Structures are given as C-alpha cells and as structure tokens.
Amino acid sequence: MMAPAVAAPDCPVAYQVQALSLQAHLFAITLTIAQPAPRQVLSLPVWIAGSYLVREFSKNLQCLQAWQGDATVAVTQQDKCTWQVENTTGQPLQLRYQVYAYDNSVRTAWLDTERGFFNGTSLFLRVHGQEDGAHQLTLNPEGLPGDWQVASALPAQQTGANGFGSYLAGNYDALVDAPVEMGAFWSGSFVAGGITHRFVVAGAAPSFDGARLLADTQAICEAEINFWHGEKPHSHYLFMLNAVDNSYGGLEHSHSTALICKRADLPRVDQATTLSSTDGYTALLGLISHEYFHTWNVKRLRPAEFASYDYARENYTELLWFFEGFTSYFHDLLLRRAGLIDDATYLALLNKTINQVLQTPGRKVQSVAQASFDAWVKYYRQDENTVNATISYYTKGSLVALCLDLSLRQGGNTSLDAVMQGLWQRCQAGPMTQNDLLTVLAELSGQTYEAQLAHWVHGTDDLPLQELLQQQGISWAEEPAPLAERLGLRTTESSGVRIKSVLRDSVAEQAGFASGDEWLGVEIDQGAAVQGWRLAKLDELPLYLGTAQSFKALIARDQRLRTLTVTLSDSAPQIKLSIADSAQVSQWLGQA
C-alpha cells in the first residue's frame, strides 16, 4: 500500500480525522509531523484526566503504518502503548491508523450511524518531544450524513457552516482536553458572566424542553461565576450532553464538559417549570453544576501532583476528597443559590448523602485520603466487597466540606466560600497542596484546622455531622432503615432477587448470605404451621413476615439449594434531617 507524498502541514503536528466506517465503528486518523526526530517515538495515553483508571486506549488502535515521501518506514511497538518509527530527519513523517470507537461513555470514543464522539486521548498519538508545540486538528466530513454538525471547544481555524474543518490547540494537553461531538444534535446557547456558552444535546426525545435546560444551566453558570467573584478563566464554554436509555455521568474539561444522562431525565415541554420537576432532572442539574464547578476546581486549581500529566501511567494524589468531594458539596449548594431547588430539596439531597456514607462499612476501614490515592485500583474497579473496604471520596469528601463550612460559619468569621476563593488567589489558579488549604483556613479563621483534617480526612472516625448541623438549625433524628439496610444487603431485581453485596457485620452476613446468591423464597414459622413464599422482590418480604422477626431464606448458590436462618435486628437506623430554624438554614443555604 502506498500513501501519497506528504505535504508540509500548517502546523508542526497535524491530525486529520474522518469516519472510515459508521457500521464498523472505525475512525481513520492521519498524523503528519513536519520535522520528526530521528527514530521518532509516539504513544497513546493509557488514561484520561478526570477519570482515574488505566483504560488502555491502545487496545482499540489498529493498522498503524508510516511513510516518508512515497516510501514506507518500519514501525516497532515498544510496549503496550508506545511505538518507534525507523524514520530519518529532513522530511515530514506521516502515520495512518484506525481506532475502533464503540464505548458510549464520556471517557473514550463512539461512532455509529447516529452519532460520533471522541476524546483526544483515545485517538491522538502523542509525538514525543513535540508535546509543547501547536497541534492542528482537521475534521473531514467525508462519509458522514449531510446533516451532521461538529461541536468542540477547540479554537476554530478554518471551518464550514457545520463545523467541519481545521482547529488549533496550543499543545498536546489542550488538544486532548477538548472532546468532539458530531451528529444531527440539538444546539442552543446563552450568555453568562459575559461569556458565550453553547449546549448541544444528542439523543433527545421530541418532548425535550431545550429552552428550560438553557435557562436553568444559565442560572447555574451565573451562580458559579459569582461564587468565584467573577473569575472567568475560560473565554467560551461548551456543554455536550448525550441522552441515552440508562446512564449518568460527566467528565470535566477546561472549556467544556461531556455529559451523559437518561433520556427520561431531560426536561419536557409538558412538565411544570416550578423548581425541580423530577428527581431525575434535579440530578441532571446537579451533574451540570458539578462539572462546571470543575472549570475552577481541578482544571485550574488542581493537585500539585497534576501540575503536568504523565499519560503513560497512574498519577497519584491524596487530594481527590478535596477536588471531587468539595465540588460535590458545592454543586448542590449552588443549585439552591441559583434558585433551582428550595431548602427542603437541598436538605433531602444532603440527607441522602449522609445515609449513603453512614451505611457504608468501608468508612471504618479506609480514610478518604486513602480512597483518593487508591482510586486507580479501588473506586473505578468496584466489586462485591467495595462497600466493606472503601469509602467514596465524592460522598465523604462532600461531608468533610460540609463540616468545614459549618465550623467556619459557626466561628463567626468566614465560610468555605471564602476559603475556596482564598485558595484560588494563593495558588494563582494552579497547583495546590493540603498545606495550602491549612494555611488559608488559618488565615481566614484565626485557628488551625490540622487536628480536624487529621481526623476527618486521614482517619476513619465518623464526622461530627449531628453536632454541627444542629447548631446550624437542622434537626437530626433516627428512623427505621429500609429493609435492605436492616438486612445488610445490596441486591439487584431484574429477574428475581440476586445478592450483589453483603455488608460487613450485618444480619445477612451472620446468616450466611454471599454475593451472587439467588434468593428464591422464605419460610415463616406461624406457630401451628410453616408457610413458604416465593420471593420476587425484596419489598415483598414484610408482606410475608407480618410481625415475625426470624425466618428461613431459601437461596440458590452454584445451582445448589440452601436454607439460611435470618433474625432481623433494629440496629441499623437511618438519619432523618429536617429544618428546625428556617432563618438560620436560609442564611446558610441562600448566601449570595
């Protein structure tokens, strides 16, 4: 196979992307290096910033070939993600390869007859030695439907009406920090803080209310720009939302974010527009708020370990409890300040987070700092024992932020708002350490918080939530937990009751349940007789139990039937929050 002679590109490193086959889910990439090093080395990242798992993107790369002029040159693979080309200097080097794109998530790449999407970490080989120079991206519409458009936060060089054409990135980091959406998507825009924000949505149903999504997102953006005292490190911003049957998540970028949600969670034209119409839409607004807050907190203000990324291996930090946890705290709080939820809804969201943490046995095993460091091998690789061995740096990290905020407010001098803004100034919107946080806390409050962080962040004791919330006008009460929590089970019920996880030191563990068991039925001793019942859903159990506190569970394990004796316990209450002092609560939640 012979490639045409390589013309000198407009940029030292230039990529061209086009769809090779929508049905085969293949992108074709041409990489041209104007002045290659002798025996040029190239590599594909193994992970993407913001998602802390080695995903081995090179598994989807195929058919890599290289040319100089009309002559092919040998390419030798050095390891799982690195190649060396046996080229010379003095003339451009061109490489061609294909990438299989069939992961419908925010992290990698997707291509089919309805939509195209990619992150640069999945498509773009890194040219070693030239990472800091300009990189050009050309998007070729050949082979795509005529109504497809392009959306990307990359600065456009020369593009047509639908967005196809050339874009320019200042360096490799900027190139792979700007995902690309392609398709016949819905598009709208608004201005917040003087900045144009574009929102594109793929996969929406005809009932989708785009005007409401724009208005609510605008309110979020205005609230967050105000939170950061008008600091606007981005000159433009792009939201890319993929609406699917059943998924949820987001990934932050410097000038954009990629989001995915349930199609049913989008606002609908037939819904009332008063505050939160549905829990699903509230969750979507929280996701938008979370990823937009990352524009400041993790994309600029970031762990010192992330001052520069190493794309070839894990990049460890103990600070994800701050960057993800504090972002989680503020993403709901800023929905309240934007007027999109009320005090009661905010309290319900906080209540849910508190119970999630308190019902996780792993909080007594792993500190939230350890959880941050171990994200690469634990958080993103969850199994049946995750709940017993780990804690989420999102949820517990958000409660650490809550405790700090309430402590600072009750001290009468400052708040966590001021701490975040102080960190932005101290670290000059760049790398930070835990010592920077401690310094700003001390400067603004007049006291040290070293002991609190030692216990709350680096220890496994429960946080002083009850005391701090009660002092802020929140009532704290206990109530019976749902049946699954009383049993100590996590289940799935797509076809019968299947045991997903068994909580440590729980009733279910004592009875002998194990992950993977199929719970078929129950037997209840009624005194004069024993009654047996088929169990299709866990919620049916109280119907059959009546007042009985002990029963036998019939389970199937490895195709063998077993009978387990279960005795219920009331030792697993859950927390119920309510407003005791509405003025005090509103002063906290409604602060501008």
The answer on 306 and 260 residing in a single domain is no
The tens digit of pLDDT for each residue in 546-566 reads 889 999 999 999 999 999 999
The answer on 490 and 432 residing in a single domain is no
Q: Is residue 220 part of a domain?
A: yes
The answer on 488 and 457 residing in a single domain is no
Check residue 301 and report its DSSP letter.
B
The tens digit of pLDDT for each residue in 149-205 reads 999 999 999 999 999 999 999 999 999 999 999 999 999 999 999 999 999 999 999
Structural contact between residues 371 and 252, judged by C-beta atoms closer than 8 angstroms: no
The answer on 359 and 470 residing in a single domain is yes
Residue where a domain stops, chosen among 166, 183, 200 = 183
**CATH number of 42's domain:** 2.60.40.3650
Say which range, 167-181, 268-282, 307-321, has the weakest mean pLDDT. 268-282
**CATH number of 535's domain:** 2.30.42.10
Structural contact between residues 101 and 25, judged by C-beta atoms closer than 8 angstroms: yes
**Token pair 């402590």 is at which residue?**
407
> Confidence class of residue 10 from pLDDT cuts 50, 70 and 90?
confident
41-43/82-85 β-pairing: antiparallel
**CATH number of 431's domain:** 1.10.390.10
Say which range, 35-39, 289-293, 527-531, 550-554, has the weakest mean pLDDT. 527-531
> Confidence class of residue 273 from pLDDT cuts 50, 70 and 90?
low
Q: Is residue 290 part of a domain?
A: no
Question: What average pLDDT does the chain have?
Answer: 95
**CATH number of 222's domain:** 3.30.2010
The answer on 352 and 252 residing in a single domain is no
Q: Is residue 136 part of a domain?
A: yes
Q: Percentage of residues in the chain with pLDDT exceeding 90?
A: 92
The alpha helices in 130-237, defined as continuous H runs, are 172-176, 210-227
pLDDT at residue 283, as a whole number: 97
Give the total number of structural domains in the chain: 4
Domain span at residue 311? 297-474+585-592
The tens digit of pLDDT for each residue in 428-473 reads 999 999 999 999 999 999 999 999 999 999 999 999 999 999 999 9
Does residue 276 register a pLDDT over 90?
A: no
pLDDT at residue 333, as a whole number: 98
The answer on 590 and 456 residing in a single domain is yes
The answer on 510 and 362 residing in a single domain is no
Does residue 8 register a pLDDT over 70?
A: no
Q: Is residue 265 part of a domain?
A: yes
The first and second tokens of residue 392, run together, are 């989420």
Q: Is residue 501 part of a domain?
A: yes
The first and second tokens of residue 488, run together, are 């100590």
Q: Which of 50, 41, 160, 61 is nearest to 101 (CA)?
A: 61
Q: How large is the average pLDDT for residues 112-116?
A: 98
pLDDT at residue 275, as a whole number: 65
The answer on 224 and 76 residing in a single domain is no
Residue where a domain stops, chosen among 149, 183, 217 = 183
Residue where a domain stops, chosen among 164, 183, 202 = 183
pLDDT at residue 5, as a whole number: 45
Q: Is residue 537 part of a domain?
A: yes
pTM to 2 decimal places: 0.96
> Confidence class of residue 277 from pLDDT cuts 50, 70 and 90?
low
Does residue 70 register a pLDDT over 60?
A: yes
